[in-house]
Amino acid sequence: MRRLAGSVCACSLLLTAHIAPAAETAGIEWDMASFVRVVKPMRHDLDGRLPLFLWNFPLPRGSALVKMRQDGTLRRAIDQMADRGFVPTVEMGWEWTPEGALAMAKTLREAGRPVYLLIPDAQLIERDAYRDNPVWVAGPDASAGGRQRRWPCLPLADPRPSAARVRELVQPFKDAGIEVSGVWFDDEALPHPWNGVYEAQRGSADCRRRYPPGALADWTAFQRYVYELRTALQGAVMADPVHATFPRALVGNYYEATSSAAVPFVDEGGNVYPPRSLGRLDVLMPSAYANTPHLFRRSSAQQRPTQEWADRTYFFLLLRTVSTANANKPRGKVSVPYLSRFVRDNPAPEIRFGMSPGTYRELIRHVLLRGSDGLYLFNLGYPGSPVTPAESLESVEDARAVYDELLEHREFLERGRPMTYAVPAIDGLPVFWSGSCLPDRCLVRVVTLGADTRRVVIDPFPGLRVTLDAPPIGATYILRRDGGIDRLERH
């Protein structure tokens, strides 16, 4: 594959958009048969790398998993997913049962696959940590249309009840002799600084005196204090109970990311975060979803949504989110962003664009070359979802194909240093590029989201400057310290 620019290599590197013909998508249902049909087997072994994660996968929950384990269909499904680079999580939410969770975990162990738990309790901290809170403040809640609610005084959180709940959830796996490799949480409630809690806290003299000096001086000070509090609570509630039971397990929570004054984290909605560490959590998990409200906020009478415009908008917003998170990734932590090609939380029914397959694949290439260690795919597709099974499984295949593609160059993913976290503004159809460097060579991906090939200048090593073509379909190069350039051509 390492040949001079312009040559055609005999190995495959998928650079073009995959657009499935109608015949390929006919009859696709939310089931394992369709999953196996649409999502192709990996060409490269993961060989110890993190698997791909899905929320969600086309398997039942609850006690049905016990029957599947008994008749062998659960093991067959796990093996089929593993062939495609995926490991299903042990889901402990929605219709889950302890028996079903253990059936999944035991079958994963027998299949030689790692066991990751998913605890999707959106109010894990808030519900119990403020259960006996003595100070409450009434105020409007913007997330509920301005309706009045009772806000707890945030500093009075007691993490012990929530931590006990986590210990109770993970202990049965220890008792069953199952080694858990990681636990993913989905806590999305208080403490956070949004939706009216700041105003409510300032409005109560009794609550104000519970804060350290200066924490309520202004919004910036409050935001920083609350995220420090959130980090401390997540350590006590999530990381500590899991690590006490499974010392080597990774622990992460949805949406959490590190931030710094030098490179503030910017979430997909454009919110800028104060400096923040992950504390005792192990995993950054920023959310990067192609969600229709992003388009609604940016559309106007002058810019009506089109697929091309939606792709450019999503690409910029989502790459910025992952880049500003990964730029702050501490040594010893890992990054597993949540990605989605389709989330249709429609504020306007005419705005239904997700990302096109080619642009989504391009986004994933850049996400991986910018220091992400794995991917958690928010694919939807279940019955009643605004995303069809065909769209869902095609987006899963998009991610699998790119992960497989880059495993051809796994040394860059595992030992390389990301070259840039910069994300140019989308005005003027800029060139986007990402790369990973070893001491003697760099793997670089370049693309323009416009219609014509453009050029980009890169300084991969001290004293070396190269100019690369950036076509609309993208191009991948290996740049050598001696000045050599290999363009990796598509098969």
Q: How far is CA 122 from the centre of its chain?
A: 17
pLDDT tens for 363-415 read: 999 999 999 999 999 999 888 888 999 999 999 999 999 999 999 999 999 99
**305 compared with 198, residue with greater pLDDT:** 198
Largest CA distance in the chain: 73
How far is Cα 335 from Cα 83, in angstroms, rounded to an integer?
A: 23
Instruction: Kindly give the pairing relationship between strand 180-185 and strand 250-253.
Output: parallel
Q: Does the pLDDT of residue 10 top 70, yes or no?
A: no
Instruction: Report residue 357 as tokens.
Output: 């397959």
Residue ranges of the alpha helices (H) in 84-122?
98-110
Share of the chain above pLDDT 70, in %: 94
Confidence grade of residue 284 (pLDDT, cut at 50, 70, 90): very high
> 398: exposed, middle or buried (C-beta count within 10 Å: 0-12, 13-18, 19+)?
buried
* Number of Cα atoms under 13 Å in the Cβ half of residue 92: 25
Mean pLDDT of 141-148: 95
**Segment 105-124 mean pLDDT:** 98
Number of Cβ atoms within 10 Å of the Cβ of 384: 6
**Quick one: pLDDT at residue 9?**
31
- Reported as a single tens digit per residue, the pLDDT across 164-176 is 999 999 999 999 9
Q: Is the pLDDT of residue 346 over 90?
A: no
- Please report, for the chain, the start and end positions of each structural domain, with discontinuous segments joined by +: 1-16+417-491, 27-416
Output the six-digit token pair for 28. 């696709």
* pLDDT confidence bin for 491, thresholds 50/70/90: very low
Question: Residue 351: pLDDT band by 50, 70, 90 thresholds?
Answer: confident
- Token readout for 316 is 């910029």
Asked whether residue 140 carries a pLDDT value surpassing 90, the answer given is: yes
Q: Which CATH architecture has domain 27-416?
A: Alpha-Beta Barrel (3.20)
pLDDT bucket at 3, cuts 50 / 70 / 90: very low
Q: Say yes or no to pLDDT of 6 above 60.
A: no
Element (H, E) at 435: strand 431-437
- pLDDT of 24 over the 70 cut: no
When comparing pLDDT for 479 and 426, which is higher? 479
* pLDDT score recorded for residue 2: 23
Count, in order, helices (H) and strands (E) of the chain.
Answer: 16, 19
